[in-house]
A and B are shown apart, each in its own frame.
Chain A
Amino acid sequence: MSTSHPQQRQSLAALYQPLPIRRTMFNVGMSAIAFALTGLALLPLLAILIEILRQGLPHLKWEVFVSLPAPVGVQGEPNGFANAIIGTLMMVGFASLLSIPFGVMTGIFLSELGQGTGIANFVRFITTILTGVPSIIAGVFAYGVIVLTTKEFSAVAGGFALSVLMLPVVALTTEQALRLVPTNQRLASAALGASRLQTTFRVVVSAAIPAITTGILLAVARAAGETAPLIFTALYSEVWPEGLFSPTPALSVLIYKYASSPFVEQNQLAWTASVVLVGLVLCMSVLSRLVTRRRFN
């Protein structure tokens, strides 16, 4: 121990020497690059939000929430997108009515009934694949099976297309939520003589409700912003939506139409509608985050 080799002593001394310049430079340089890139990543978000607020806020008056879009070139008429707000709510509502029961039940199957079986793995695999279905494909599908059969562009067709996109999100988040409920609770419930139905709903599902709500909110937020599945299923309309079986306007489609319009008034309305839509969607996303945070912390 005391008679140490000269070479060994040297390498021991290296421990006390500062890091070679090259390694320090690499370390500091990479940190700088990483931070720069992170800043770059935040740039578009800020740019988009600032632009939406800058362009959209000045025109955000009460009038836009209560009136119909005015035809181009008509002066002095109230201009708004109340019909599109109602249309979006209708279609997202209809899509929720379809996708939430299927999604939650599928989630229950994956986590409770089929747990660990080959069938459950298969169902999970299919559901995961469904999350990857491009939104335009959902629109093509809904056009083929609903619009061509009912011979009508409708809120039903639009809602159906949206529900195809919502279903897997609801199913997978429900499954994850249910899995977080400790097995002991299930066992305790069963030991007290509860049936499977009672255990599942009174114990497991009710404990997981906040997390399931999060999943549903996320799915609803996603659906509210979708455009591609609606352009040839719900089409659009400049008048009040009148029922589930007629062409129905949506905020997202309004933005698409008015964004590529040459008329400045319509461009402005697109920005204003963006403020409303982004507000709606971001609120739901942030809300769902908060619900989850509170639960897990």
Chain B
Amino acid sequence: MAKSQGKKENRGRKNLSDTPAWWDTFPWWGIAIVAILLWMGYQIVTKDSYDLAWERVIPGIRITITATLQAFAIALALGLLAGMGQLSRNVFSRNLARTYVEFIRGIPILPLIFTVALVLLPQIQDALGFKLSFQMRATVTLAFIYGAYMAEIFRGGIQSIAAGQVEAGRSLGLSRRQTMNSIVLPQAMRAIIPPLGNDFIAILKDTSLLSVLGVLEITQRARQFSASTFKFREGYFVLAFIYLVLTLGLSLLLGLLERRMTRDDRGVRSNRGID
């Protein structure tokens, strides 16, 4: 009797503990994902029909990756410009930036891709007298869309810095620009980089939409393979596998980057200067 009572007490204490058991916090999902990836990889390597799909789809990865990097770089510049523009003192640039952001954010990506790449950009091209390759036009379109999303990230990041920081900088005699560059932006970066990383992954996934324009990236190649061989399962299975490896790998990297930055935030690492 006494023994069983003791057991009960013990169990009670366990439930009250504020440190959860290891199995409660263990990242089981990671094991599951790795297992799924291994299984998918095994299918592709061992089955001939999957092997063929792989051979037909994988060459598109170069275009997928270039388009992602290019679109991200251009979107970054556009986003910074439009984000700062929204906070500008100048009435014209403020409203121009706002119009751009609201216009883009109000329309889904797919119709935007058609409109921008097939209507807007050709018209601008004709008016200004230059010529972009079809793939580049599609990439610029994606950048144009994500620039608007990023503008909101930049604006929010900058606005998250307390007004007192600007006042302290200005009252030391720093100009508006110096205050922005040396005080506000470096601090805002901590708030900006994680969502920018998410957008990078989102751009990678949304390069698949360029397939509707006929750009030969992996989705378009998978579509072509499946349509011509009727091996839909194999084509899209391989496609999903490639995207998963890319996005999971990227979010792993971004997680590391974020952890590094939060450590920096606590002032443990101290290799940042003002130069």
A in complex with B: no
Question: Which A positions have Cβ atoms within 8 angstroms of B?
Answer: none
Residue ranges of B at the interface with A (Cβ–Cβ < 8 Å) = none
